Amino acid sequence: MISYDNETKIFHLDTPHTSYCMALIDGRYLSHLYYGERIGRSDLTYLLRLHDYILPPSERPDEMATFWDRLPHEYPTEGRGDFRETCLGARNAGGLLSLEPVLTDWKIHREKKTIPGLPASFGDNAQTLEIDLTDKVSGLALQLFYTVFQDADVVVRSAAVRNGGKAPIYLNRALSACLSLPEGKGKTLTFGGAWAREHMPVWREAGYGGTISESRRGAPGHSGQPFMGFLYDQGGLYGMHLIYSGSYLAKLDMDSFGDYRMAVGIHPDTFEWKLETGDIFYTPEAVLFYTPLGTEGMTGILHDFYRLHLIRNFKKNRPILINNWEATYFDFDKDRILSIAKEAAGLGVDTFVVDDGWFGKGRMQPSGDLGDWVPSKKKLPGGLRDLSAGLKALGLKLGLWFEPEMVSEDSDLFRVHPDWVLHQEGRAPAKCRDQWVLDLSNPQVREYLITSISAAIREGEVSYIKWDMNRMLSDAGSSFLPPDRQGEIWHRHILGVYEIQEQLLALFPNLIIENCASGGARFDPGMLYYSPQIWCSDNMDPVDRARIHEGTAMLYPLSAIGSHVSKSPGDITGRTSSFRTRGITAMFGCFGYELDITGLTGDEKSQISRQIDRYKELRPLFFEGDYYCLHPIGEKDRYQVLEIVSKDKQRGCIFFFQALSEANGRSLRVRLKGLSEDLCYEIRGKVYRGDALLKAGIFLPYVKQDFYAEIIAFKALPHPWT
Ligand code: DGJ
């Protein structure tokens, strides 16, 4: 899969359908050569344009600035004259450094390496190329890692930077990867949105000035994804997705000759890192992919890769849950929880997730108690043990909500440890949702959180936690870190989140963590490593949710998308929809309920067990199958058609959702995808040839109804016409 040719000085990496090639110039400098459809090994050095418009340094050692400015460097660095987006920048006591890393060694490892403190992809049948480079003057030593897997069309990259000098060095940028792409017209793909409108795809013409997707909030936020895609007009989509949950920068820029540079990594604006002699800094991983099949190819590659190589055991222990947030908000006690649980018992629900408000003094609005992770005597007088026993008697397990990274002013935690809050001397930190952010760079804070959350998990025999985060970082100052490490707070915060989640999973191996951040503000690949499912939006209205699911599923497998049936009219849109439609639209993810089911009509209640049975029957398909968006609803369209096909092409289903019916309309025709041409499929009692469904299509039901949803299942039959 990975080789180095001593003659041509080319590193050549293969995935099942792509090749990634780099060249060494003068035996020292690492240049990108090619990434795209798989090609055989040959002398590709002509792609370097040496003597054409790049002068080899060996020939003009006195004229290096042009070389730095034009070469498609693999891991560009600051200071020598590369004026595009670079990956590495640093300073020392003498000021900003100019860096010239040159090759010192390389190795091929027959495995995927882990990264200390960070989430990382994993898997057998992997090879990792390590390229070592050193900047002689500063002593900075770089290790670039490239992993390819036998069963995935991705190249996973990361870097490690070591201070091999004699004095401290401060990194001010350390991106994960950069990719050079040749000229050609095309569009960038990024994601935008807002609270309750997350993960909307955004297409933009690529050109001078570039496209940036970024967050400087401490989490990706509602309006972004740590992702950059670039689709050439003639076809062929390149992308980078960062396995990271903090502030990020993703950029595609065009240079004066029309070539592109794409780069992703930790956002340099909220980053500085001090390296003492011998210290190493590890960047997060970036997942790079190329597909000639556009967004459909991208979705298939990323779904498979995340299911097999990032989410640890993506099928394990997934409950059907009921959550009380939209049922009660803060207004609940043990009796209220048990009254809802009684209705849910016996219908197929496994877990009751008690949301915000069960702890401290039992807050009734978002104003106090965060940090005091002990059961409220007012709401749960018998504690978590008693609540858990009550649920167990009904056949349900207990799940609990936490917001571990936060503290309220009105909390015992803050009264005892006022210095544990992120703040700057002489200024009260800005509150948001009446709360402050804890200083997770301080190991005592992390220890406190692990101890208090574990105690609650033990007391309540908790099988599931919802980890929420309802405000972004501000006033980033730490009483724990010394002055010259204050720039590390943003990255240390997210390292702290990772460490706490990892330790909780080590203490409770069967625990499921559902990540959430005010809806979908921290829906990123980093979180998937700890949390197999993520709450993708607070908006459960079926029309909006169809849009949000569609954007989210462009990158993430359905097994990762938390999805609940809520009330009608919905609290966020005020829109009225039927229980049936809400049930069907919530099935394309990790299914659950989030409403007061004691108030449902008899007919609605009777639908619950039928919905759960249907979901359980289809879940293997949703979780493991190939997903296709046959007709996007986008931000404006009136209907959506999705399809899922099992890997063996024996089963599948079509999801049809009509937000608005069409006057003087007729049934819609869709061409299916992913089927076998050699099989026949039975759909609603009729038999169709696979090739007919793929090439000619099928008609969907014509329905004069708004907010209409239907799942049409199909299965393969032996071919009756052969
Ligand atoms: C925001 C989450 O997205 C909601 O689901 C809910 O848990 C609230 N926070 C609770 O405060």
- Distance from Cα 586 to the centre of ligand 1, integer Å: 18
Quote the tokens at residue 112: 């995927």
Indicate which residue of 356, 468, 544, 626 is catalytic: 468
Burial class from Cβ neighbours inside 10 Å (0-12, 13-18, 19+) for residue 217 reads: buried
Burial class from Cβ neighbours inside 10 Å (0-12, 13-18, 19+) for residue 336 reads: middle
pLDDT value at residue 51: 85
pLDDT value at residue 635: 84
Burial class from Cβ neighbours inside 10 Å (0-12, 13-18, 19+) for residue 694 reads: middle
pLDDT value at residue 532: 97
- Distance from Cα 218 to the centre of ligand 1, integer Å: 18
Rounded CA separation 12/4 (Å):
6
Q: Indicate if ligand 1 lies below 6 Å from the C-beta of 519.
A: yes
Q: Indicate if ligand 1 lies below 6 Å from the C-beta of 15.
A: no
Ligand 1, closest atom to CA 538?
A: 3
Rounded CA separation 154/285 (Å):
12
Nearest CA residue ID for atom 6, ligand 1: 325
Ligand 1, closest atom to CA 355?
A: 7
Nearest CA residue ID for atom 9, ligand 1: 518
Neighbours of 258 (CB within 10 A): 13
pLDDT value at residue 63: 87
> H-helix or E-strand containing 159?
strand 154-163
pLDDT value at residue 625: 98
pLDDT value at residue 574: 96
For residue 107, give the 3-state DSSP assignment: strand
The alpha-helical segments, DSSP class H, found in 192-333 are 294-309, 325-328
Rounded CA separation 575/580 (Å):
15
Q: Indicate if ligand 1 lies below 6 Å from the C-beta of 540.
A: no
Give the amino acid at 80: R
For residue 598, give the 3-state DSSP assignment: helix
Rounded CA separation 70/257 (Å):
9
Ligand 1, closest atom to CA 594?
A: 5
pLDDT value at residue 721: 60
Rounded CA separation 431/478 (Å):
16
> What are the residue ranges in the chain where pLDDT is below 70?
719-722
Burial class from Cβ neighbours inside 10 Å (0-12, 13-18, 19+) for residue 122 reads: middle
Nearest to 598 by CA among 562, 567, 564, 563: 567
Give the amino acid at 280: I
Task: Please state whether the predicted TM-score (pTM) of the whole model is above 0.95.
Answer: yes
The Cα-based distances of 580 to 281, 567, 595, 597, 610 in angstroms read 52, 12, 14, 14, 10
